[in-house]
Structure 1
């Protein structure tokens, strides 16, 4: 009889990876049943979605309070469903603030917990590593530098490579050359970050077009975010073309450069090979609290992997239209600068591992459950 697996993604990037992992598990054990919390990708792969990832789209300490009632309701629902369904395993994908509670429920019910895309505890909250050591049976890491950090807590951790290597169809994009005046805008997938950054990106566009009227601005629409809302937040008279997310890697590759919200998308843009300005704005309180406990020199994944600043990080006050425009124009106007960054990104691509991350994790999970 097939195994029943509860799989929990807390955001859209986790949904993408969750879909690939479900596909890989189903290829090895076709009679596996999946239930849990996911988005479009996971539902398309046969997830019995008790909860939708689209309903949990918050970030930061203070931002969470606005949705606290909804979050607690979702957690109560998961606790109830785990007790009723008694799955053979729980797989958690990233989103530690939410998923740690799910890990505790599963552990208390005696259900083994696997963490796919291990939480970034090395960046902050290292004290919570003890929680994982107790509640999680096995961790799967997608960033090469994480393994050493987690092993000091005597955890079972496997570096499986980065699943983005599988998601990106290299053969279909590597021949694409950047278009001279095409600037890509990636304002994020969470409402709060889009509302903070989109007006600043539109101001940057106004400034950049004054110096170079031939520049064109293109935006990728994240799942669950309407074109209407993006246009409302684009306050510049400069035209903005909006594209659906389906062919986003070809889109990224075709851009001269990108201006993006910090997150998984900046690692995607690095792997695709397009120079990117990383931006982020949080509430003043969240940022203040973050500076007190975050223990890493960078926020951008490409910079953390390379252990140096490959992509500039424009955070808080620096994530404003004037600074963004100034940095973008400096790149565009410096001969050879963008080409040099693209060369650097080839090194980064070689560091993230070979294809097959989801397959390796699926094999280890199924082997573990068969013991």
Structure 2
């Protein structure tokens, strides 16, 4: 069968690669057209037709890339008509993907959404578009699946969270410190995000705030798909960068300072006390505050419905505030976070999201093909 998969940015590439791997185990004749990154390309054993790294942006920074994104969207539409897949699978990246979904629905394609639009954060206005254009939603957050169903989209399924298995199956490198020339001081892990603009805005502030803790070594989780020059923004001698070893860093650290996103949940699954931070452009933040309906942004806090992990967002993210909050976490609230992490594992359960999603997609396509074939025979 033919699968047309579209995502954007680094996290979507990770989830897309895992889903492709599971689909191939079930459907040995699977063929893919994809917009993705290097991990999806490796999973398919074939090139992605669109490079998702070209599509990464932060907030209103998409205006800088508007023409490029519009051209990519038009290319995806044309390719969809030419490829004629059995199913369109959209992964995260809702601004782009919902526009593509509208086109795909108009042209009669089956459309499934894995890691759907976060309507619970921005209000349920978009639910009508989702009802119109999407046949099934596969959610990786239990409260999100419940929200969709409560607002009338009943074909929503909680399939488990992919990070649970990814973290539990990670084999920790026992030589992590030695191979990276780290000393024996405890580690503060700094995760400034996976987008260029995130790192530019966040990394200088968190290194300035944490550099005061000289009895610790500060280790930045670098990503090799970003320009290395992004990580050369500090002079403190107790700061180092390690590339593409985030899980080993989270496992070795005593505390983390983490840009909001999936990394905060990964830190929780590694039992790492943390502070969640975020900073975007003033205009983006101004608009965000007027459209959002939630009081916190960390996935840990959203899952338990209260503030457990401290959040320093926008103007609150200063070196002084970070220093004060980090002192509090290290000496006062560390155990409180650790006790909540056990509860989060129970909430997420043990279902393997890529496997469950792949099974449901393949079975749904077969049923759809069978029904259409029967209709054609009866006619």
TM-score normalised by structure 1 residue count: 0.92
Structure 1 residue runs without a partner (length 5+): none
Q: Cα deviations across residues 237-263 of structure 1 (Å, max 9, x unaligned)? A: 233221122x42221021010111111
**Deviating 4+ runs (over 4 angstroms):** 173-176
Which residue, 194, 200, 208 being the options, matches 1:195?
200
Instruction: Please report how far the alpha carbon of residue 166 of structure 1 lies from its aligned counterpart in structure 2 after TM superposition.
Output: 2.0
Aligned to 2:152: 153
Contact 2:185/2:215 (<8 A) preserved: no
Relative to structure 1, the CA distance from residue 223 to residue 122 in structure 2 (aligned partners, 3 Å threshold; closer, same or farther) is farther
Q: Cα deviations across residues 158-193 of structure 1 (Å, max 9, x unaligned)? A: 1111011121235735999x9762100000011111
Aligned to 1:81: 79
Which residue, 338, 355, 362 being the options, matches 1:342?
338
Contact 2:210/2:322 (<8 A) preserved: no
Which residue, 127, 140, 143 being the options, matches 1:142?
140
Secondary structure of the corresponding residue to residue 66 of structure 1: helix
Q: Cα deviations across residues 330-362 of structure 1 (Å, max 9, x unaligned)? A: 22233xx32332232121122112142111111
Q: Cα deviations across residues 113-157 of structure 1 (Å, max 9, x unaligned)? A: 100012111110421111010100100011111122211223311
Flag the structure with higher helix content: 2
Q: Cα deviations across residues 178-213 of structure 1 (Å, max 9, x unaligned)? A: 97621000000111111101110121133x23xxx2
Q: Cα deviations across residues 293-325 of structure 1 (Å, max 9, x unaligned)? A: 111121111110011112111001111211111
Aligned to 2:221: 220
Contact 1:20/1:358 (<8 A) preserved: yes
Contact 2:2/2:31 (<8 A) preserved: yes
- Could you tell me how far apart the structure 1 residues matched to 2:123 and 2:78 are? 28
Instruction: Please report how far the alpha carbon of residue 94 of structure 1 lies from its aligned counterpart in structure 2 after TM superposition.
Output: 0.8
Q: Is 1:278 aligned to residue 279 of structure 2? A: no
Q: Report the RMSD for the aligned CA atoms in angstroms.
A: 2.0
Structure 2 residue runs without a partner (length 5+): 178-183, 368-379
Instruction: Please report how far the alpha carbon of residue 285 of structure 1 lies from its aligned counterpart in structure 2 after TM superposition.
Output: 1.4
Secondary structure of the corresponding residue to residue 122 of structure 1: helix
Q: Is 1:244 aligned to residue 243 of structure 2? A: yes
Contact 1:165/1:354 (<8 A) preserved: yes
Q: How many residues align?
A: 358
